[in-house]
């Protein structure tokens, strides 16, 4: 099956710093990539949807200036959490899809802890 990788798998950073998370589709071209956030014992929450070469579409309540998404190629999308705060600590998961958005392949997730 399709493989999606994320890097780093976990990161600890100080409040006020920025963190970049990479999401790569390893064996297929991802037309669309999705970024999710999951707080403990809660469901996945879609943050944004990005298509290669286009600006990301953010869900209501997600600050686009704080969560910068770049989808420069069909195999790579990045999420940068700018000026991170402790409340940004969460599990960030990306997923990628080809022609059909509902066939999403998830990355292993990145656990972000902001101290």
Partner 1 sequence: RKEVEQDPGPFNVPEGATVAFNCTYSNSASQSFFWYRQDCRKEPKLLMSVYSSGNEDGRFTAQLNRASQYISLLIRDSKLSDSATYLCVVNMGLDDKIIFGKGTRLHILP
Q: Which CB, 37 or 75, lies closer to partner 1?
A: 37
By CB under 8 A, is residue 9 in contact with partner 1?
no
Backbone torsions φ then ψ of 80, nearest 5 degrees: -110, 120
Q: Number of residues interacting with partner 1: please give it, by CB under 8 A.
A: 18
Q: Closest by alpha carbon to 21, among 96, 101, 82?
A: 82
Q: How many CB atoms lie within 10 A of CB 28?
A: 16
DSSP code of 54? S
Minimum CB separation of residue 99 from partner 1 in Å reads 10
Q: Which CB, 57 or 82, lies closer to partner 1?
A: 57
CA angle, residues 35, 51, 72, in degrees to nearest 5: 90
Q: Which CB, 44 or 82, lies closer to partner 1?
A: 44
Minimum CB separation of residue 55 from partner 1 in Å reads 15
Q: Would you state the structure tokens that stand for residue 93, as one six-digit string? A: 């998961």
By CB under 8 A, is residue 107 in contact with partner 1?
yes
């Amino acid at each position: 099956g399709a493989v999606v990788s994320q890097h780093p798998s976990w990161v600890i950073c100080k409040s006020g710093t920025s963190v970049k998370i990479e999401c790569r589709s390893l064996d297929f071209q991802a037309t669309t990539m999705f970024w999710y956030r999951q707080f403990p014992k809660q469901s996945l929450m879609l943050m944004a949807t990005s298509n290669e070469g286009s600006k990301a579409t953010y869900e209501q309540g997600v600050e686009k200036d704080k969560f910068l998404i770049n989808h420069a190629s069909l195999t790579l999308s990045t999420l940068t959490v700018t000026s991170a705060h402790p409340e940004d600590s969460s599990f960030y998961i990306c997923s990628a899809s080809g022609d059909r958005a509902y066939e999403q392949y998830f990355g292993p997730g990145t656990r972000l802890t902001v101290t």
